[in-house]
Amino acid sequence: MAAQQYHAAEVGARKTDNDGKPDWVPGEAPLEGVMRGSCGMELFLSTNGPPRIPGHPVVIFEAGVGACSSSWGPVRRLLDPRIRSYCYDRTGYGRSPSAPVAGSPRTAGVLAEELLDVLSSAGVRPPYILVAHSFGALVAREVMAALEPDDVVGLVLVDANQERAYKAIEEPLKPLAALAGPRGLALLDQSGLLAGGDHYTSDELQRLTVDAEREAKENTSALETACLEASSDALAQKSQLETMALGVRPVTVIRGDTKRDYRRVIAATRQRSDLDAEASRVLEKLHNFVEKEFDVRDNALQREQMRLSANSRFVQALESGHAVIATEPHLVADEVSSVWESCLVSWV
């Protein structure tokens, strides 16, 4: 599809209405700025695309743990140029000035409440098409749970977490974080977002770097990761898979090849000279899990999300690890555009 280019350098100051407030709904794109919710939370919000036509669905992007709105740059530029889309930075990320309150839970449910509060204050009403990567899928599905049934008219999940993934995948791989260390785990990013450098403009890469530096300093992702089990359990209680929560509204599940990322981390960790016999034994166990069990479990978990709707579609990304949005943004953009088009037909 034709891409409509909106580079960071073109954004500049945000557009405002006569009251001096951001005109988020009918305003011309691009538009960005900090939006204050009714509860006092301030989050960075950005929109692309033409002025919204009343009743038309808008796309809401949700990033994964440690990632910001900037990670969606290539996907947003490749969307059908008729689409109005919104991106934001969660508390403690990117250009959002708010920092998490000490001791406050950072579960997917809490994050969903913050997003909905800011969207409401900005006047961005449903219907929504939710597009989520990784942990962001838990947040997106909590958004679904908090809204009326017809408020979410489509869903695109990109190598997404789901409620059963914690015990099936994340928990068995927990020891890898301690063995690899921060630098080792950074290889997941290097094989993901940074590997997609060809798809980002120079301005977008600069923004990614600045956002990553803030994350490294504040480590907001650790707070969300610490609540991953609680987020998973809370979502499971909502029985969205069992009740086909989206009915016949379109759902696309895109799966990456995260196995290749874990292979890379394990291979790098094996090169460390300070691994003792016990650490080597644990690493070998992790290697066996990744080689023999990961794909089977991950494929089943990804496909299980198709149960959210009777109108679902599964897509296997062929050239990506976990960060499909960076390495195959055209694939994600095409699926989002297709879902939007099908929703548009039902609303016209």
- pTM over 0.85, yes/no: yes
* The two structure tokens encoding residue 59: 């796309």
Tell me the C-alpha to C-alpha distance, in Å, between residue 138 and each of 83, 163, 232, 246, 304. Answer: 24, 8, 7, 15, 14
The answer to whether 50 and 84 are in contact (CB under 8 A) is yes
From first to last of the 348 residues of the chain, give the pLDDT tens digit. 333 322 222 233 344 443 445 678 777 666 899 999 998 889 999 999 998 888 899 999 999 998 999 999 999 999 999 999 999 999 999 999 877 877 788 999 999 999 999 999 999 999 999 999 999 999 999 999 999 999 999 999 999 999 999 999 999 998 988 887 765 555 455 445 555 568 899 999 899 889 988 988 888 888 999 999 999 999 999 999 999 999 999 999 999 999 999 998 898 888 887 889 999 999 999 999 999 999 999 999 999 999 999 999 999 999 999 999 999 999 999 999 999 999 876 644
For residue 85, give the 3-state DSSP assignment. strand
**How far is 102 from 109, CA to CA, in rounded Å?**
17
CB burial of residue 218 (10 Å; 0-12, 13-18, 19+): middle
Amino acid at 225: T
Alpha helices in the chain (DSSP H): 73-77, 108-122, 136-146, 165, 174-190, 202-218, 220-226, 228-236, 258-270, 277-289, 295-304, 324-327, 329-347
Q: Using alpha carbons, select from 87, 80, 4, 17 the residue that is nearest to residue 339.
A: 80
CATH class of the 8-163+200-257+308-347 domain in this structure: alpha beta
